[in-house]
Chains A and B, each alone.
Chain A
Amino acid sequence: MSRAKFGIIVFPGSNCDHDAYNVLKNVLKQDTEFLWHKDSTIGDRNVIVAPGGFSYGDYLRCGAIARFSNIMKDVVRFANNGGIVMGICNGFQILCEAGLLPGALLRNANLKFVCRNVTLNIENKKTIFTSSFNGSINKDKITVPVAHADGNYICTAETYDEFLANQQVLFRYEDNPNGSFENIAGIANKKGNVMGMMPHPERASEDLVGGHDGRHIFESVIQSLN
Chain B
Amino acid sequence: MYKAKIKITLRKSILDPQGKAVGHSIQSLGYKNVKDTRIGKFIELEIDSKSADEAKKITDEVCSKLLANPIMEDFEFEIISLNGKSK
Quick check: A110 and B17 within 8 Å, CB to CB?
A: yes
Stretch from B26-34, B48-56, B66-74, B76-84 that touches the partner: B66-74
A147, CB-defined interface residue at 8 Å: no
Quick check: B66 and A60 within 8 Å, CB to CB?
A: yes
Quick check: A64 and B69 within 8 Å, CB to CB?
A: yes
A27, CB-defined interface residue at 8 Å: no
Distance of A179 Cα from B72 Cα, bound (Å): 15
Stretch from A1-9, A36-44, A99-107, A121-129 that touches the partner: A99-107
A212, CB-defined interface residue at 8 Å: no
Q: Specify the main secondary structure of chain B where it touches its partner.
A: mixed
Quick check: A104 and B69 within 8 Å, CB to CB?
A: yes
Quick check: A61 and B18 within 8 Å, CB to CB?
A: no
* Residue in A64, A68, A97, A107 whose Cβ sees the most chain B Cβ within 10 Å: A107
Residue of B nearest to A104 (CB): B71
A79, CB-defined interface residue at 8 Å: no
Quick check: A107 and B17 within 8 Å, CB to CB?
A: yes
Distance of A110 Cα from B69 Cα, bound (Å): 21
Distance to closest chain A CB from B67 (angstroms):
7
Residue of A nearest to B39 (CB): A107
A154, CB-defined interface residue at 8 Å: yes
Quick check: B69 and A107 within 8 Å, CB to CB?
A: no
Quick check: B69 and A154 within 8 Å, CB to CB?
A: no
Distance of A156 Cα from B15 Cα, bound (Å): 14
Collect the chain A residues with CB atoms within 8 Å of residue B14's CB. 106, 154
Residues of A within 8 A of B (CB): 60-61, 64, 68, 97, 103-104, 106-111, 154-156, 179
Those 10 A-B pairs whose CB atoms lie nearest each other, nearest first? A104-B71, A104-B72, A111-B17, A109-B17, A104-B69, A61-B69, A111-B21, A106-B72, A107-B17, A111-B18
A-B pairs with beta carbons under 8 Å apart, 18 shown: A60-B66, A64-B66, A64-B69, A68-B66, A97-B69, A103-B71, A104-B69, A106-B72, A107-B17, A109-B15, A110-B17, A111-B17, A154-B71, A154-B72, A155-B71, A156-B71, A179-B15, A179-B17
